[in-house]
Amino acid sequence: MNQSIHPVLLCGGSGTRLWPLSRKSYPKQFVNLSCDESLYQASARRLSGAGYAAPIIVTGADFRFIVIEQLAAVEMAPADILIEPSAKNTAAAICAAALALEAREAGALMLVAPSDHVIPDAAQFRDAVAAAAPAAKSGQLVTFGIRPDRAETGYGWLELSQPTDDFGPVPQPLKSFVEKPDREKAEALLAGGMHLWNAGIFLFSTTTILEAFAKHAPEVLDITRAAFGAAEKDLSFTRLDADEWAKLPDISIDYAVMERADNLTVVPYSGAWSDLGDWQAVWRDGDADASDTVLTGPATALDCEGTLLHATSEAQELVGIGLKDIVAVAMPDAVLVAHKDRAQEVKAAVAKLKEKAVPQAETLPRDYRPWGWYESLVVGSRFQVKRIVVHPGAALSLQSHHHRAEHWIVVEGTAKVTVDDTVKLVTENQSVYIPLGAVHRMENPGKVPMVLIEVQTGSYLGEDDIIRYEDVYSRGQGAKG
């Protein structure tokens, strides 16, 4: 058997507690929070190199091209990308990945990890994985516990079976899982020295985890096996069957399997770690000044203490004066201001915005597509102005619209434009008109990104006013397909 460890990256979360930066349309794992790569890219790189196989990615249909594009940007390629028809929590996602890997390499070791965590010392973490591998090969379900440094109420905890002096990566039997505690209990767990934070990272063989599903969650296994058996290949993706998938319960791997199993091992990890679960965690993980204030982007602080100022647009400056323990996040279309101690309540605020049908609750101004991205600059009752960026070699679908005409002005690069039977190159400072109902396509034949300004006019400007005739990305009909 190949002894490589097969990373499984879970990319299905929406990260609403980091609103407005993280939204349903583009969640936090794909965002560059404070460095040159996204959390997802950093996770993939961390679980790569000698002894690691190419990763298996589990994600939703809307993100299938993003996961490929971001991996390619760090010169990586996935072994498989499993498309979940809907979010069913971690039990189903892990079960599907285990079935996919078992079909390719029976008994292989799989390392399951969220794609949105921060672990700065990749080498130290890989050392912990190496220390865990013998237990996983022997039939143990191995979980990794983080050495706690505060009485955290936002995490579940893991109870050790024996004390450890330095929290080194030495496997030992896991005694129990502890639900998210209240403040008093969390302080007692921290003081006792016998508990770790539950990071939701696991190592086991496909044989062991599938046997555990069969014993403790047979319904999850049977339905997931049916969904995997009826899956369809779509380009380089594996689309799990939607009808079968819909029958699955919404349950985590902890509730479905781990809390019921008796072959559990825990490996302590004493290095730095964060799940960046809310804005207080981002502040804690940031580069603070002498007054514990963290600035990101075009932000200025005067006489602030323990504060996070996070700005994303060079077109606006975020200024804080006399703030203490405040989180302020400024984006072009939404602003969040909250006390750090109430950062967990951002999720409730997003729910409130959804009740009001506020588009900012779930969508960003910038919409990412497999060919590039666009953003709306101005929207009126019968017109819309967009900036569109098309990757080198990429092409939009051959399409038409019932309700709008379009005028394209190329401002960077060169566009290859099809309008009905006419195909021509449009270079910088040139424009082309797309009449209502015309069959058209835009391509970037060049080696650099192509940027154009699109002016739409018509009675209806929604993204669902589109008929696709050809599409290299096989998206079908609909706004995104």
203-217 pLDDT, tens per residue?
A: 999 999 999 999 999
The answer to whether 287 and 294 have CB atoms below 8 angstroms apart is yes
The answer to whether 189 and 179 have CB atoms below 8 angstroms apart is no
Peptide bond into 365 cis (omega under 30): no
- Residue in this structure with the two tokens 């006399």, named with its chain if needed: 322
- Residues 187-210 have a mean pLDDT of 96
> What pLDDT, in 10s, does the model give residues 6-18?
999 999 877 789 9
What is the CATH code of the structural domain delimited by 366-470? 2.60.120.10
> What pLDDT, in 10s, does the model give residues 79-102?
999 999 999 999 999 999 999 999
Residue 480's pLDDT is what? 60
The answer, yes or no, to whether residue 250 has pLDDT greater than 50, is yes
> What pLDDT, in 10s, does the model give residues 65-77?
999 999 999 999 9
Query: Which tokens sit at 145?
Result: 């516990």
Q: Where in the chain is the domain with CATH 3.90.550.10?
A: 5-269
User: The pTM is what?
Assistant: 0.89
Residue 1's pLDDT is what? 40
Question: Which residues are CB-contacts of 380 (< 8 A; sequence separation ≥ 6)?
Answer: none
Name the H helices within 217-300.
218-229, 242-245, 253-256, 279-285
Residue 165's pLDDT is what? 84
The answer to whether 12 and 58 have CB atoms below 8 angstroms apart is yes
Question: Which residues are CB-contacts of 14 (< 8 A; sequence separation ≥ 6)?
Answer: 22, 23, 24, 27
Residue 236: pLDDT band (50, 70, 90) is confident
If phi > 0 it is left, if psi is from -120 to 50 it is alpha, else beta; for residue 322 that is left
Residue 255's pLDDT is what? 95
Architecture of domain 5-269: Alpha-Beta Complex (3.90)
- Residue in this structure with the two tokens 């619209």, named with its chain if needed: 401
Residue 365's pLDDT is what? 87
Residue 477: pLDDT band (50, 70, 90) is confident
Name the H helices within 193-338.
206-216, 218-229, 242-245, 253-256, 279-285
Residue 206's pLDDT is what? 98
Residue 120's pLDDT is what? 94
User: Beta strands 109-114 and 195-205: pairing type?
Assistant: antiparallel
User: Beta strands 294-296 and 308-311: pairing type?
Assistant: parallel
Residue 479's pLDDT is what? 61
- Residues 317-338 have a mean pLDDT of 97
Q: Where in the chain is the domain with CATH 2.60.120.10?
A: 366-470
Cα radius of gyration rounded to whole Å, the chain: 24
The answer, yes or no, to whether residue 370 has pLDDT greater than 70, is yes
Q: What is the spatial distance between Cα 286 and Cα 293, in angstroms, rounded to a whole number?
A: 9
Q: What is the spatial distance between Cα 28 and Cα 44, in angstroms, rounded to a whole number?
A: 15
The per-residue pLDDT of the chain, averaged, comes to 94
Q: Please state the φ and ψ torsions of residue 147, each to the nearest 5 degrees.
A: -60, 120
Residue 36's pLDDT is what? 82
Q: What percent of the chain has pLDDT over 70?
A: 99
Residue 382's pLDDT is what? 95
Residue 325: pLDDT band (50, 70, 90) is very high
The answer, yes or no, to whether residue 230 has pLDDT greater than 90, is yes
Residue 396: pLDDT band (50, 70, 90) is very high
Query: Which tokens sit at 103?
Result: 């079909």
- Residues 346-374 have a mean pLDDT of 94
Distances (CA, A) of 387 to 44, 69, 354: 31, 20, 26
Residue 200: pLDDT band (50, 70, 90) is very high
Question: Which residues are CB-contacts of 430 (< 8 A; sequence separation ≥ 6)?
Answer: 409, 410
The answer to whether 294 and 281 have CB atoms below 8 angstroms apart is no
Q: Cα–Cα–Cα angle for 78, 84, 86, nearest 5°? A: 150
Residue 356's pLDDT is what? 96
